[in-house]
Amino acid sequence: MNKQQEKIVSMFDSIAHRYDIANRVLSMGVDKSWRDKAVKKAYEIYDQKSINNITDVACGTGDLMIYWQKVADSLDIKLQNITGIDPSVKMMDIAKQKIPDGTFVQGFAQDLPLNTDKTDIVSIAYGIRNVTHRAEAFMEFGRVLKPDGLLVILEFTKEQRKTWFSFIKKIYMTNIMPYIGKLVSGNSEAYRYLPDSIDEFATSIQLQQELVEAGFEIKFAQDYSMGMNTTIIAKNRNKTKKEKL
């Protein structure tokens, strides 16, 4: 693991016990609706009544996994397995308390401990920004997904262009968020990292281009809450795949 990746993972380890509460306070609960909408849209696009495997990469404390199951139940979709993968053991410890019968594996997006062509849906929520080798992660998603399997990304992307809201957003993220983040989690560095990492990250359009280059077809891309959240759903069009050595 490179130094930068190591630092990111240990940061998540250190805030794990307060991550959920900080998340709810800082997003004012709106993240729940972003998750719900993304999962519903993915099920609509995938359009199968029985799904073998969903893998939530960068699962953290497991919130998206809970939505995959809850929405599947509400739509009468039979979901056989859902696996959470994350390099942070402490984040996954919290997830395990919330989902006692879930399957969890420690691992990185750029080196998934999964078989080739076996996963129906791969999701990654607010995780791809933390992956230092994004192109490798996209290759891995293409490898583990079945042909026509879906990749679902939720992320805070960099703004395409400035609007009147950009100024308010900047003040909130660079001044208010680290302050509240420190109060709730005891760690201001982690909540300073968030706006910095968004600034250094791709725009939604750039991310979509990278996905197309990695062999995905974009099926859905939408910004929510004045561009605070981006959801992208893409179909795996990779035909030839290399088995993992």
> Helix, strand, or coil here: 206?
helix
The binder of ligand SAM chosen from 60, 102, 149, 215 (CB under 6 A): 60
> Helix, strand, or coil here: 217?
strand
Q: Please count the helices (runs of H) and the strands (runs of E) in the chain.
A: 9, 7
Q: Binding mask 168-207 vs ligand SAM (x if CB under 6 A, - otherwise)?
A: ----------------------------------------
Q: How far is the CB of 126 from ligand SAM (least distance, A)?
A: 4
Q: Which among 52-60, 166-174, 201-209, 231-239 is the span making contact with ligand SAM, rule CB under 6 A?
A: 52-60
Give whichever of 24 and 237 is closer to ligand SAM, judged by the CB atom.
24
Token pair listed for 64: 């998206």
CB 63 within 8 A of CB 38: no
The binder of ligand SAM chosen from 53, 55, 88, 230 (CB under 6 A): 88
| DSSP assigned state of 244 | P
Length of the chain: 245
- Determine if 67 is a binding residue for ligand SAM (CB under 6 A): no
Give whichever of 117 and 136 is closer to ligand SAM, judged by the CB atom.
136
The H-or-E segment that residue 77 falls in is none
Query: For residue 208, how many other CB atoms are within 10 A of its CB?
Result: 19
Positions in the binding site for ligand SAM (CB under 6 A) = 5, 8-9, 12, 57-60, 63-64, 86-88, 91, 108-110, 125-127, 130-131
